[in-house]
Chains A and B, each alone.
Chain A
Amino acid sequence: MTVKSDIDPQEAKKAILEYCLKKGALIAGVADIDAVNRIAPEGHRPSDLWPRAKSIISLGVGGQTQGAWAVPAKALGYFGSTEVRAYTVAYGAAFYIENKFGKRAIYCPPDMDTEAGPRVPFQSLKLHAEIAGIGARSLAGDILLHPEFGYMYFASVFTELELPPDQPMQENPCPTTSCVDLFSRSGQTPCMKFCPVQCLSGDIDEDGNQAEMRYDMASCAEMTQQFEAVPGVLADAIRAEDEEEREDLLFDAENKILWYKMSVGSGGLLGQCFECMRVCPIANQSPQADPIRRYETRMAAKAEAE
């Protein structure tokens, strides 16, 4: 590999981030890899995956269309996750870095650690984004939010190219004033109140800042992810003594959808819940939270310029 030695880190960073924005990211930044290595749990640090990585580029794409929030949860589960768009941009960015700067780069695997089971990711893309300053942890199970773009999906690129890091966000937009008001009246923010499995709880201090966030990830997962369901159905069917019951267990409408989704490879087995984000004022009411709001912002800016 030809290594170019005259790379200006600031210029390189600018070029890479512009590439990401041009390809569809709403926002991008560079995370301090030392900070990430220090915070991430053992086995899931960038250095555990690729010791030669010097920088982490984190980028976010828009969460939902405005229309998506208006449909039933079981439909939203199919198209609510837009992370694939983020992955595509990150994949391209890794190619861009190697091609443009001659430095190794990898698209950070977003998936699960195959040795540790389906609830353990290789790397925390959330941590990368938070350290890169493109999102802050919310009371909704630490889902990252941005005051301008609301709720996003993230992807990361690791590279040997040394880039000047960004800083985490100065302010956390969560909780909003309306959420604090509701919390003071009921002890719950909207995300806590409307969670179908009540997996969220916490506290807000007197200044209206997050004091504590409690997230029962297991309950959240058992509602929105069904990887335990398939062996569960089979185990129940094996145990069933009655032939009719066994047939129901394997083939009733509810279980049949499992086989269907497995056979056609239709994304997540049910998708995610999104209820906490559906009721989050930051996630869906921020100035550029969805394409319609972004359109309106553009039109307003254009009108002002004219």
Chain B
Amino acid sequence: MTRGLKRSQIGMSEEMIQTYGESVFEMSHNIQVRRGDAVRELDWEQIEATRADRGMSDAELARQFGLTQDQVTYIRTIMERRKFKRHNYHRLYDLGGGRRFRSDRFIPHAERFEFRAEAIELRKSLDFDPRIASKHLRMGNWNGDTVTDWLDKWSKETPDAIAAIGGGEEITFAQIRENALRLANSLLELGIRKGDVVAIQLPNQIEFMTVYFAVCMMGGVLSTMHMAYRAGEMEPLLKHGSARAVICAPAADSYDAAAAMLDMCTRVETLEHVIVASGSAPDGTLSLPRLIKEGTKDQIENPPVASDPVILCFTSGTSSAPKAVVHNYQTMLANNRIAGPIYNMTRDDIVLGGPPFTHAFGICVLNLTLMVGAASLLMPAFTAPTLIELIEASKPTVMFVAPAHVAACLKAGLLDNGDLSSVRIATISGSACPPEIAYALEKAMPNGSVGQMWGMTECFMGLHTPFDGPADIRCESLGGSTPTFEARMIDDKGSVVADGEEGALEIRGCSIIAGYFNNDEANRTAFTGDGWFRTGDLACRDTDGLVRITGREKDLINRGGIKINPTDIEAVIDNHPAVLMSAIAPVPDDVLGERACVYIQLQPDASVTLGEICNWLRKNDVAKMKWPERLEIVGQMPMTPTRKIIKGALAPG
């Protein structure tokens, strides 16, 4: 090496480097010590006495150590390389221009924040087609907004405005931001990192919003769990998302959520913390109010950016291969920004969200409300009287509800008698809405208009009716697609069907996820590869461009090759005086393959027979081939959190 010579040419071994290395390194120019100012003063005695301290040349060291000069040079250069800390120059990056070095402020790269492997894995689900990403970025559909940006905006501009009303309390934007910041710092203090999944199972209450904002602030990913889920449903979902913490409600009725979560900690490897929304947390759990109270108000050092994942929702099933939907801020908030103007909301509005925050619809409404700086009116649990009482007491101006919410109020006779005069717009969404439900709601709103919206967890809001359109458009269709979105209906062969014909609804736009997390099979089925998402819904578009949902692909009954769409038939049956709600699902048949079975939940003290149902259908001009051939009476129809019937849970008795 030295002078181009090899070790064997200068007589060098590794042992010699070990023996002399430290001495050569330190006594050469690498460490220099000067005592006094002998050179300037030409103090020859002192100059000679301190020559070694000032650093010796290789020739001088060679003579002192009994080595050749080549050997000293070789050892010195080897040692300089071995001791060299390549990344020390990072210390320079934040200096100068008025900034001085402070050792307590400097964190070496090796000690800086690192995402967990699970967080990196989760990011793989944000695998967008680069052409699609480029399009949305160039068009500005995706921008740099985060939920925290929106919350910060309103906490600065209208700090004393009401952000949420719930549980007999009101909280302002400034207050909820401070609480969220404190909680975010507490979560970080617990060791929860940016990119970690935090699961939540709370009803629509202020604590949910606080947690949501806090997790957004610290860069976590909020995974929502429906309130009806118990350990059996939650465990595979927590495992799938590698949840690091879960936040749940205190024990109530027959369900002790905290105990169930604690028990799951032993089986869900990543789950470290159970946080209970109660001042008195059981042993082994943490109190959410205490974490909020004791958290600092320190600025978050490493906040998320818009391309970071923010929510993880599960759309169906709780099996080992759930459909896990991961949205980043770009896909999630783009939907609110682009569709928001349709709803013409302002910061003066009070927005009642019927759907639970544990569902994407609920999160969507929450974001929409935050975007405009309006107040969220919270309904922790739905019953028809609760909804009407809340409207009468809190006077919401904007309302988002599911058809089942309205139907329940209607059937309970509460819609006509309730005071809905405060509501200026009401959006029905969550499942296909029979027109008479929409008309009934509009009739009950003397100062308001009803509209409909169609959306899915995978894309949030996709179709909307215009609120300034005529009633038949708003009550009988889903209108058109979200601006910048596209919707099409295709047949079995993948060809686009003509207007007026039913087809499978596909949609594409800036809010559609790239794919399900860790579910290749579902991804192959649901995504076309060129940006279209197969919704699974059946729809048709009329010549005016208005879209109507006509059913679900998987609900079609294949009766000897003839496909029967049960949606319209169910709507007719639902109008039978003895029926509270109905659902038609296939039952296997040796001859025809499938036959239709109708499941009915009766009105109190009512009864009905299959013959009576068929007679009802005949009277309503439904073709005989569509009539159900079997009847099952169910005590309680299985429902999703957004009040959709879970047909998969229905089976003949």
Q: Which residues of A are interface residues toward B (Cβ below 8 A)?
A: 35, 38-39, 41-44, 70-77, 115-117, 119-120, 127, 130-131, 136-137, 141-142, 168-169, 172, 194-198, 209-219, 222-224, 226, 228-229, 231-233, 270, 273-275, 278-279
Q: Are A275 and B101 closer than 8 Å at their CB atoms? A: yes
Q: Are B37 and A209 closer than 8 Å at their CB atoms? A: yes
Q: Are B32 and A119 closer than 8 Å at their CB atoms? A: no
Residues of A within 8 A of B29 (CB): 119-120, 217
Residue of A nearest to B85 (CB): A222
* Assembled-state Cα–Cα distance A292/B3 (Å): 47
Give the distance to chain A from B42, nearest Cβ to Cβ, in Å: 6
Q: Are B30 and A211 closer than 8 Å at their CB atoms? A: no
Q: What are 26 contact pairs spanning A and B, CB under 8 A?
A: A43-B57, A44-B57, A71-B96, A73-B92, A74-B93, A120-B29, A136-B40, A137-B34, A168-B40, A169-B40, A194-B101, A195-B101, A196-B92, A196-B95, A210-B36, A213-B34, A214-B31, A217-B55, A222-B84, A222-B86, A223-B88, A223-B91, A226-B86, A228-B84, A274-B96, A275-B96
* Tally of chain B residues near chain A (CB < 8 A): 49
Residue of B nearest to A210 (CB): B37
With A127-B39, A168-B41, A223-B91 known to touch, is A196 a contact of B58 (CB < 8 Å)?
no
With A74-B92, A211-B36 known to touch, is A216 a contact of B31 (CB < 8 Å)?
yes
The 7 closest A-B pairs by CB, nearest first: A41-B57, A196-B91, A73-B96, A228-B84, A73-B95, A218-B30, A72-B96
Give the distance to chain A from B480, nearest Cβ to Cβ, in Å: 44
Residues of B within 8 A of A195 (CB): 101
* Assembled-state Cα–Cα distance A274/B95 (Å): 10
Q: Are B100 and A224 closer than 8 Å at their CB atoms? A: no
Q: Are B92 and A229 closer than 8 Å at their CB atoms? A: no
Interface string of B23-62 (1 = CB under 8 A from A): 0010001111111110111101001000100011111100
Q: Are B42 and A35 closer than 8 Å at their CB atoms? A: yes
Q: Are B89 and A75 closer than 8 Å at their CB atoms? A: no
Q: Are B58 and A116 closer than 8 Å at their CB atoms? A: yes
Q: Are B39 and A226 closer than 8 Å at their CB atoms? A: no
Q: Is B2 an interface position by the 8 A CB rule?
A: yes
Q: Are B33 and A212 closer than 8 Å at their CB atoms? A: yes
* Assembled-state Cα–Cα distance A141/B91 (Å): 18
Residues of B within 8 A of A218 (CB): 25, 30-31, 80, 83
Q: Is B77 an interface position by the 8 A CB rule?
A: yes
Q: Are A217 and B30 closer than 8 Å at their CB atoms? A: yes
Q: Are B73 and A275 closer than 8 Å at their CB atoms? A: no
* Assembled-state Cα–Cα distance A218/B57 (Å): 15
Q: Is B103 an interface position by the 8 A CB rule?
A: yes
Residue of B nearest to A216 (CB): B31
Q: Is B66 an interface position by the 8 A CB rule?
A: no
Q: Are B40 and A137 closer than 8 Å at their CB atoms? A: yes
* Assembled-state Cα–Cα distance A79/B88 (Å): 21
Residue of A nearest to B44 (CB): A38
Residue of A nearest to B30 (CB): A218
With A136-B37, A142-B32 known to touch, is A117 a contact of B73 (CB < 8 Å)?
yes
Q: Which of A39, A116, A211, A222 contacts B39 (CB 8 A)?
A: A39
Interface centre among B57, B73, B96 (most CB of A within 10 A): B96
Q: Are B60 and A41 closer than 8 Å at their CB atoms? A: yes
Q: Are B39 and A130 closer than 8 Å at their CB atoms? A: yes
Residues of B within 8 A of A275 (CB): 95-96, 100-101
Residues of B within 8 A of A142 (CB): 32, 34
Give the distance to chain B from A277, nearest Cβ to Cβ, in Å: 11
Interface string of B370-404 (1 = CB under 8 A from A): 00000000000000000000000000000000000
Residues of A within 8 A of B101 (CB): 194-196, 275
Q: Which of A127, A217, A233 contacts B32 (CB 8 A)?
A: A217
* Assembled-state Cα–Cα distance A148/B11 (Å): 52
Q: Is B493 an interface position by the 8 A CB rule?
A: no
Give the distance to chain A from B216, nearest Cβ to Cβ, in Å: 28
Give the distance to chain B from A11, nearest Cβ to Cβ, in Å: 27
Give the distance to chain A from B170, nearest Cβ to Cβ, in Å: 47
* Assembled-state Cα–Cα distance A228/B84 (Å): 7
Q: Is B97 an interface position by the 8 A CB rule?
A: yes
Known pairs A72-B97, A74-B93. 6 more at Cβ < 8 A?
A70-B98, A72-B96, A115-B3, A217-B32, A218-B83, A233-B86
Residues of A within 8 A of B94 (CB): 72
* Assembled-state Cα–Cα distance A215/B33 (Å): 6
Q: Which of B25, B39, B84, B88 contacts A168 (CB 8 A)?
A: B39
